[in-house]
Amino acid sequence: MVPDNDFDAVIIGAGFNGLYQLYRLRQEGYRVRLIDAEAGPGGVWQSNCYPGARVDSHVPNYEFSIEAVWRDWVWTERFPARDELIRYFEHIDKVLDLSRDIDFNTRLEAASFDSASNKWSLSANGGSATYSSQYMILATGFGSKPYIPDLPGIELFGNDCHHTARWPKQGMPLDNKRVGVIGTGASGVQVIQHAAQVADQVVVFQRTPVTAIPMSQQSLSKAAQDTAKADYPEMFRRRNAPPGSFADIERLNISALDVSELERNRVYDQAWDKGGFHFWVGTFKDVLTNEEANRTAYVYWRDRVRAIIDDPKSAELLAPTEPPYPFGTKRPSLEQGYYQCFNQQNVDLIDIRADPITLISPNKVATANASFDLDILVLATGFDANTGGLVAIDIQGRDGLSLADAWSGGVSTQLGMAIAGFPNMLILYGPQSSASFCNGPVCAEIQGEWLVDLLAHMTTNAYATVESTPTADQAWTAHLDDVANSSLFGQTDSWYMGANIPHKPRQLLNYPNSDAYLDRLQRCAANGYDGFVFT
Ligand code: FAD
């Protein structure tokens, strides 16, 4: 008899990637268990419950293409807020009947591979939950480890200081409070916009300006969605095939430098007016690869933004005359009135490069030149993205090789999905995949189907293990290095490059070309899983 805790596959993470995998592998007849540290499904949306949290990818791009899920689901907004996303995940759970195979409130702490049995042993919650399985599928997300910089006295501020991804689940309203926000990335922009409407005072501590672009939020009616659903199957087919990721955003196959200024601005105007990520990924082919082309996008963005801001000093801080980094090489956030906030009396902008935070004390943040009494301090300081959540688990592969040691000099994987020395361990939405440049649910379906096919290949051939080779890992890593050097990404200190974390090896951690990525996956499978060894 098979013990209750022995499975064909254990999946870690109940976000888009883990849930899709559970649904598909179960459909294929595997014995599967999913575990997640959170209390319910939704992954990153469980923990990122800060005020103003919402997704930047518009629906129906940001949802599963499974008809049983979309048929009866109705969104209220084009860019849904966090609570609506959680309701959507509950709907997925109900329609696909997933929870019966999920252990929530279960954090994986350690996993080791046993070469004698060719199985993984997993230990969670201090050893009170254990599992063994042929495959370990890590769908732990790119942002499961929040990053808090070493700010002097941060531990002294008091109870009302929280990272955006560790916001109190019961909520903590900002209404009529004095709120400080450290960080102006995607989460910072969302908190600041919200706080500016409801708080008495908002103090924004900015290190690097974000290049936020208009969201163009819209309310969505049921009638309009019912009509649109007739085209969903074709739309999802387009979305999941090259160029992929968005069914309705495509980069033009022309250079920004091969058209007149008038024509260029017409393209930029159109992308700007459409909102969402159009201005980032839906204009000219060389905006992210050619410095001169990139500058045209930056200058357009700068001038549009500066036209909104009344105070010239704030305008220079928020949208500098010279680009602080090539446009689009840090993830642009989507904004709804972000720049207008800085025209309000209740919002202060502090440039912490010029005027650094010197001391945090109870309900107070002091910089070199000023001091602010605050009720709430929001740490919108991002994540140890891509790798942090993975190396936080004590993973030991063949012969006790630890993942943390294997990656101590830098990440190396094959296609972001497998690592030499770690048999039968597959990663979804992981480092060196197209994660962050490919919508969460789209990537979940593309990588998910590839993984389902790989496991079918294993079963058909009665293989016990699949493992990447060091040569294949090195080749993929070298390819990403080439991409960093031949595009503008390598020039920017971003979390894509691991540069937001002190001492993290600097390398491109996400593959920015989702259609080339899909092509690589398909070619690898078509060539009999080139670069993998099977036993
Ligand atoms: P996640 O949704 O991150 O889920 C991972 C799960 O793994 C979590 O529930 C976590 O609890 C669990 N986990 C991690 N470690 C362990 C462990 N050791 N033991 C047990 N469980 C563990 N993507 C987009 O495409 N578009 C967007 O606009 C967008 N906006 C975002 C906004 C925010 C604020 C954040 C943080 C992310 C955003 N993302 C966006 C990226 C987002 O990660 C993906 O869209 C998607 O959620 C990825 O799903 P996932 O299943 O890979 O991981």
Residues 187-230 pLDDT 10s: 999 999 999 999 999 999 999 999 999 999 999 999 999 999 99
Residue 514 pLDDT > 90:
no
Residues 6+ apart with CB under 8 A from 400: 112
Mind listing the pLDDT tens digit for each residue in 487-511? 999 999 999 999 999 999 999 999 9
Say if residues 11 and 33 touch (Cβ distance below 8 Å).
yes
- Sheet of 364-367: strand order equals 357-361, 364-367, 371-373
Q: Are 334 and 56 in contact (CB under 8 A)?
A: yes
Examine the domain organization and report whether 302 and 402 are in the same domain.
Answer: no
Please give the distance, rounded to the nearest whole angstrom, from the Cα atom of residue 63 to the centre of ligand 1: 14
Q: Is the CB of 108 under 6 A from ligand 1?
A: yes
Nearest to 60 by CA among 271, 240, 251: 240
Cα–Cα nearest to 511, from 405, 399, 435, 440:
435
CB-CB neighbours of 344 under 10 Å:
13
CB of residue 435 inside a 6 A radius of ligand 1: no
Q: Which of 338, 268, 320, 321 is nearest to 54 (CA)?
A: 338
Average pLDDT, the chain: 97
142 lines ligand 1 (CB under 6 A): yes
Cβ contact 491:443 at 8 Å: no
Residue 243 domain flag: no
What is the per-residue pLDDT for 248? 85
Question: What's the 176 CA to ligand 1 centre distance in angstroms?
Answer: 31
Q: Based on the domain organization, do 485 and 400 belong to the same domain?
A: yes
Residue 509 lies in a domain: yes
Choosing from 319, 352, 379, the residue where a domain stops is 379
Percent of the chain topping pLDDT 70? 99
Whether the upstream peptide bond of residue 243 has omega within 30° of 0, thus cis, is yes
| Tens of pLDDT, residues 265-287 | 999 999 999 999 999 999 999 99
| Ligand 1 near 22 CB (within 6 A) | no
Q: Which domain holds residue 192?
A: 154-231+288-379
**Residue 243: its pLDDT value, please?**
67
- The domain that contains 486 carries what CATH number? 3.50.50.60
Q: What's the pLDDT score for residue 115?
A: 97
Residues 326, 179 share a domain: yes
In short, whether 433's Cβ falls inside 6 Å of ligand 1 is no
> Ligand 1 pocket, 432 CB below 6 A?
no
Q: Is residue 239 part of a domain?
A: no
In the prediction, which pLDDT does 493 show? 95
Q: Which two tokens stand for residue 354?
A: 């010029």
- Cα(413) to centroid of ligand 1, in Å? 20
Domain assignment present for 278: no
Mean pLDDT of the region 81-88 = 98
Q: Is residue 276 part of a domain?
A: no
Give pLDDT, residue 513: 86
Tell which of 334, 351, 379 closes a domain.
Answer: 379
37-55: pLDDT as tens digits: 999 999 999 999 999 999 9
45 Cβ contact partners less than 8 Å away, ≥ 6 residues apart:
15, 53, 82, 85, 86, 89
pLDDT for 213: 98
* pLDDT surpassing 90 at residue 241: no
- CB distance 243 to 437 below 8 Å: no
Specify whether the CB–CB gap between 283 and 252 falls below 8 A: yes
Task: Map tokens 């005020």 to a residue.
Answer: 51
Q: Which residues make Cβ contacts (< 8 Å) with residue 460, sequence separation at least 6? A: none
Q: 316 and 226, same structural domain?
A: yes
**Is the C-beta atom of 144 inside 6 A of ligand 1?**
yes
Based on the domain organization, do 389 and 451 belong to the same domain?
A: yes
Report whether pLDDT(2) > 80: no
State yes or no: pLDDT of 479 exceeds 70.
yes
Q: Do 298 and 394 reside in the same domain of the chain?
A: no
Same domain assignment for residues 373 and 391: no
Distance CA 236, CA 44 (A): 23
Q: Is residue 258 part of a domain?
A: no
What distance in Å separates the CA atoms of residue 508 and residue 519, rounded to the nearest whole number? 19
pLDDT tens digits, one per residue of 165-192: 999 999 999 999 999 999 999 999 999 9
Dihedral of alpha carbons 296, 302, 303, 305, sign: positive
Q: How many C-alpha atoms does 114 have within 13 Å on its Cβ side?
A: 10
Tell how far the Cα of 350 is from the centroid of ligand 1, in angstroms. Answer: 30
Q: What's the pLDDT score for residue 358?
A: 98
- For the chain, give the percent of residues with pLDDT over 90: 96
- pLDDT at residue 246, rounded to an integer: 83
Average pLDDT over residues 306-325: 98
Q: Which of 318, 353, 379 is the last residue of a domain?
A: 379
pLDDT at 28 over 90: yes
* Shared domain check, 118 and 15: yes
Encode pLDDT of 108-131 as tens digits: 999 999 999 999 999 999 999 999
Same domain, 514 and 452: yes
Q: Are residues 220 and 346 in the same domain?
A: yes
The number of distinct structural domains making up the chain is 2
Is a pLDDT exceeding 70 seen at residue 107? Answer: yes
- Do 368 and 411 have their domain in common? no
Residue 327 burial by Cβ neighbours in a 10 Å radius (0-12, 13-18, 19+): buried
Reference 302, options 250, 339, 261; nearest CA is: 339
Say yes or no: 416 and 374 in one domain: no
10: pLDDT strictly greater than 90: yes
Q: Helix 440-460 crosses helix 16-27 at what angle (to 10 degrees)?
A: 30
Side chain identity, residue 365: V
Q: Is the peptide bond before 60 cis (omega within 30 degrees of 0)?
A: yes
How would residue 247 be classed by pLDDT, with cut points 50, 70 and 90? confident
From 12, 44, 64, 245, mutation site for ligand 1 pocket: most ligand atoms within 8 A of C-beta: 44
* pLDDT tens-digit series, residues 412-446: 999 999 999 999 999 999 999 999 899 999 999 99
Model confidence band, residue 244 (pLDDT cutoffs 50, 70, 90): low
Contact in structure between 106 and 35 (CB atoms under 8 Å): yes
